[in-house]
Amino acid sequence: MNDHAIYQLPVAVEARNLGKSYRKHKSSVARIMDFANYLLRGRRSSRFFETSHVLRDIELAVREGRSLGIIGQNGCGKSTLLKMVASIISPTSGTLKVNGRVASIIELGAGFNFEDTGLQNIYSYLTMYAIPSAAIQEKVRQIIEFSGLGEKISAPVKSYSSGMVVRLAFAIIAHLDADILLVDEALAVGDAVFSQKCMRFIQTFKQHGTILFVSHDLNALQAICDEVIWLHDGVIRARGPARPVCDAYLEFTLSADYPDLVPQGHALPQKLPSSLTTIAEMTLDAPTARVEISPEPDLSRGFGGSKAEIVDVALRSITGKEIGVLKGGETVELAIRAQVKVEVSSPIFGFIVKNSRGVEIFAENTLHDLQNGPLYFEAGVQYEAVFRFSFPILPSGDYTVTAAVGEGDFYQHKQLIWRHDVLVLRVASERFRYGLIGLNDTRVSVYRHEMELG
């Protein structure tokens, strides 16, 4: 859908200069003085309070049938925004218009009576949402089936695990015939099978409904959302298509120079000839289709660079030749060369391959697979990591490679340099059709199975 067609759609959620703030006493002494002032004068005085702004100057227009992702660090106001859209709390300033029936899963268990059974809570929700009495029994059956709780539906909700509460909550909101769906990180609590069921429902709901989706899972956001806003300290720091906003947020959270980000777009150092010394070895294995490599990769996008810089990234054959076209099943080498500007203990090379929507398809790094133990890099020296693997079978389309150099271990590490889209891969698969990744060297046999009767 083009921009003109999108702007013709009715607005489902509209915020203008929206804000939310809370007043709190400046100190325990101020609380006592305020109470004394109230006893003496019968009123409160603002001099004993300070105002905490949770959200400020929020401007939004989410149109019907569109999905908006909301990202940001904890405490930035994401959940507060959803609660205002759900009418759980009221704005302090500005205006908020919501056109349509809203179903939300924001706080785990919010709206449930934990003393009642799951079944009783289902009936309570359906009654509260004014579901016609003739449709209630069928709705109850569908909700129980969707939740997969079985006999547990007759147990008190207070006996449920957090995953069971999510199952019940999502099953209910999925059957309320809502126009607008609000989801706040709820799927992180459920098991993998149920999470996939929820994602399938969301993808179906997208075809006719409006979604506001809060998550720290950038892959899920990019797969679901048409647009993303990044909240920081209660204001919208960035907005736009999912991928560039998620990339900017990733830059902010992973940069070794956080919170002072290194400006993007600076020139790369000139490529220099070098003789490589093998300082560590690693073995990888993965499954390939026909790939065209962009001859002029863009190495300018990303963050970091004050302590290391990526000089070159290349996909080549095992004989060292740059690859223009790759046939399925061939072994390739992805080489990442970096200039280290300072001494680096425990350095890490890594890469991510993403599809055109920014969804991560596969990735690898040197953190676990180096056979010679932790490394140490000297300042002013170039180092190259070479990953040898079989390129996976992928659906036809364009893919990009993100390359990075970090420092640290599995539990704590920081990015020294991170470059998006250093290579563009064009896959032309003749047989792959579905999913994100195909199987390599597949053998299929079909037999007639004779069954003994009697």
Structure tokens at 417: 């340099």
For the stretch 98-125, pLDDT in tens is: 999 999 888 767 789 999 999 999 999 9
On average, the pLDDT of the chain sits at 80
**pLDDT of 149:** 93
One-letter-per-residue 3-state SS of 255-272:
ECCCCCCCCCCCCCCCCC
In 3-state terms, what secondary structure has residue 58? strand
**pLDDT of 280:** 40
Torsion of CA 358, 69, 9, 357, to 10 degrees: 10
In 3-state terms, what secondary structure has residue 79? helix
Question: Which of the two residues, 172 and 423, has the higher pLDDT score?
Answer: 172
Is the pLDDT score of 51 beyond 60? Answer: yes
d(CA 205, CA 218): 20
In 3-state terms, what secondary structure has residue 391? coil
**pLDDT of 287:** 33
Question: Taking the domain 290-428, which CATH number applies?
Answer: 2.70.50.60
Beta bridge partners of residue 354, listed in sequence order: 360, 400
Domain regions of the chain by residue span = 290-428
Residue (of 405, 81, 98) closest to 213 by Cα position: 81
For the stretch 224-269, pLDDT in tens is: 899 999 999 999 999 999 888 988 888 888 764 444 333 333 332 3
Is the pLDDT score of 129 beyond 60? Answer: yes
Peptide bond just before 287 cis, omega within 30 deg: no
Residue (of 399, 158, 416, 183) closest to 302 by Cα position: 416
CA distances from 384 to 281, 365, 379 (A): 11, 13, 14
For range 213-226, the mean pLDDT: 86
Question: Which of the two residues, 432 and 61, has the higher pLDDT score?
Answer: 61
- Model-level pTM greater than 0.85? no
Percent of the chain with pLDDT strictly greater than 90:
37
Q: What is the largest CA-CA distance in the chain?
A: 94
